[in-house]
Every structure is written in structure tokens, then in C-alpha cells.
């Protein structure tokens, strides 16, 4: 089994595997070892990055295991970096360009809004289904307004070519870029699109998914003239009041 190219491990990955002990101010000392279990079920402890290449027992028995640990750490570091530094791409080639960064942002909702029952409800509806995320080069307009994104339930050939995905959520690259959407704006937009996923459970315990419409569709003028004349409008009024908007 070939040895690990430990000289190529990025510092951020090394710090993730062996956090630096900042109390003594010496960057080259590690705060503690890690223990990995080999394919043979043996526990092997590694005290330092150097030991990955100098300890023959580690190289022989735990090489592949440590590689997987390093690979996982690289993915975590890269994912955290990409999420925290999220930016809309400079260019999108054609429509429906794969957007794994949007998928990561959507999954971040669970961590960043943990415990919020409204977010939990939306995420429950999207559990168990597979969602593809994409940038659409031109979002277009509908009913005179810019379309920022859309949640589409896939079936037939579309589902086949999407490798069995249940939904496609696309985000308009042109509109969100022109409006200079921030990471928080994009989180809100993804939350909106995820909200369109409706999950129902049959009597047999089977999950059935569909697309649900908006809670409120209204013209400002009808509110100004007639007030909260529908239950949906009244609920909307109360929601705005909770935000202190004085509607």
C-alpha cells in the first residue's frame, strides 16, 4: 500500500484533524491525537501529521482509513469555506447549470435555524425526496414580475434525465445577480422554494409529494379598500404585525 503524501495535506485540513493548541502559542503543537479503526478492526492512534509518514504500522494498516479521514476533513473545510464565502457565479453557461453550492445553502437551513418550528415544518415536507438545484441563466418574467426561482416536480423524461430526482429547484442567475443577492437573501429564496414542496402520508404510510401554492395572493389595492376581507389576508396581516410592520 502506498504511503500518504502528507506533505500535500493543506494546513486547514491538518488544523481540522488535529486542532492547534492556542493556549501555549506554539502553532506546531497539536492538542491531541486521533484514533482510527483499520479495516482489520484494530485501533491505531496517530499523534501527529509526521507520524502518518514515519510510522510504518500506521502506513501499512491505517493508510486508507486515514485517507478517508483526510478526505472527509477536506470536504468539511471546503464546504464551510464555500458556504461562508457564497457568491453568485460570474457567468452561467446556458439554462439549468448544476449548482451544488445552492444545495449546500439549502441544507444549511437546518443548522442555522435549528429549533424554529416554521423551518422544521418546511424541512419535514422535503424529507425523503431528492432535490436537484440549478442556476437558470435567465429567469424571465411572469405576470409582469421577475421570476427569481421555481420549484418543479419532475416526472417522466425529466425525472429520468435528472437521475430519479423528485424536484428541481432553479434560481434565476440574471435576476439575483442584478439585485446583488446576499447569502441571507439566497437563504430566504431557497426557503421560499422549498416551501412549495408538499408531503402527504397515505394510509399505507407512503410519502406522496406535490407542489403547493402560496399562502397569500393579493393586490395591495384590495387591502387598502376592503381591508383583511379574506381569512388568508387576515393571517397575513397578523404575520406582518408580529414583525412590527404596523400593517
DSSP state of 95: S
For residue 210, give the nearest of 175, 166, 160, 147 by alpha carbon.
Answer: 166
| Alpha helices per DSSP H over 85-182 | 100-112, 117-126, 156-161, 173-178
Residue matched to cell numbers 481540522: 16
Which residues are CB-neighbours of 133 under 8 A, at least 6 positions away?
98, 99, 100, 102, 103, 106, 168, 169, 170, 171
- For residues 55 and 204, what is the distance between their CA atoms, to the nearest angstrom? 56
pLDDT tens column, 168-189: 999 999 999 999 999 999 999 9
For residue 194, give the nearest of 117, 112, 101, 123 by alpha carbon.
Answer: 123
The pTM for the full model equals 0.60
pLDDT tens column, 18-52: 555 444 444 444 456 666 555 556 666 766 656 65
Residue 58 near residue 51, CB atoms below 8 Å: yes
pLDDT tens column, 1-27: 444 434 444 555 555 555 554 444 444
> 3-class SS at 128?
coil
Residue matched to cell numbers 493543506: 10
State how beta strands 167-172 and 149-153 pair.
antiparallel
pLDDT score for 79? 47
Angle separating helix axes 100-112 and 63-84, nearest 10 degrees? 80
Percent above pLDDT 90 for the chain: 37
Phi, psi for residue 169 in degrees, rounded to 5: -110, 115
pLDDT tens column, 194-222: 999 999 999 988 999 999 988 777 777 77
pLDDT score for 164? 86
State how beta strands 167-172 and 131-136 pair.
parallel
Q: What is the CA radius of gyration of the chain?
A: 25
> From its phi and psi, is residue 241 left (phi > 0), alpha (psi between -120 and 50) or beta?
alpha
If you average pLDDT over each of 74-83, 124-133, 207-216, which comes out highest? 124-133
Amino acid at each position: 500500500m502506498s504511503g500518504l503524501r502528507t506533505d500535500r495535506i493543506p494546513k486547514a485540513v491538518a488544523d481540522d484533524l488535529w486542532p492547534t493548541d492556542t493556549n501555549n502559542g506554539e502553532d506546531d503543537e497539536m492538542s491531541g491525537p486521533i484514533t482510527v479503526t483499520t479495516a482489520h478492526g484494530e485501533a491505531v492512534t496517530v499523534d501527529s501529521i509526521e507520524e502518518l509518514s514515519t510510522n510504518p504500522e500506521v502506513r501499512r494498516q491505517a493508510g486508507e482509513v486515514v485517507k478517508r479521514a483526510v478526505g472527509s476533513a477536506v470536504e468539511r473545510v471546503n464546504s464551510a469555506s464555500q458556504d461562508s464565502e457564497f457568491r453568485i457565479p460570474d457567468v452561467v453557461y446556458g439554462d439549468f447549470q448544476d449548482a451544488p453550492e445552492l444545495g449546500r445553502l439549502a441544507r444549511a437551513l437546518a443548522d442555522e435555524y435549528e429549533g424554529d418550528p416554521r423551518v422544521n415544518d418546511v424541512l419535514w415536507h422535503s424529507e425523503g425526496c431528492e432535490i436537484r438545484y440549478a442556476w437558470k441563466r435567465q429567469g424571465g418574467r411572469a405576470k409582469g414580475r421577475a421570476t427569481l426561482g421555481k420549484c418543479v416536480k419532475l416526472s417522466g423524461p425529466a425525472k429520468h434525465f435528472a437521475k430519479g430526482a423528485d424536484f428541481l429547484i432553479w434560481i434565476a442567475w440574471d435576476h439575483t445577480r442584478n439585485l446583488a443577492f446576499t447569502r441571507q437573501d439566497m437563504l430566504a429564496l431557497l426557503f421560499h422554494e422549498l416551501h412549495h414542496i408538499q408531503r402527504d402520508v397515505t394510509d399505507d404510510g407512503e410519502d406522496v409529494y406535490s407542489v403547493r401554492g402560496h399562502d397569500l395572493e393579493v393586490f395591495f389595492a384590495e387591502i387598502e379598500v376592503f381591508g383583511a376581507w379574506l381569512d388568508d389576508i387576515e393571517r397575513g396581516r397578523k404575520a406582518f404585525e408580529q414583525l412590527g410592520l404596523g400593517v
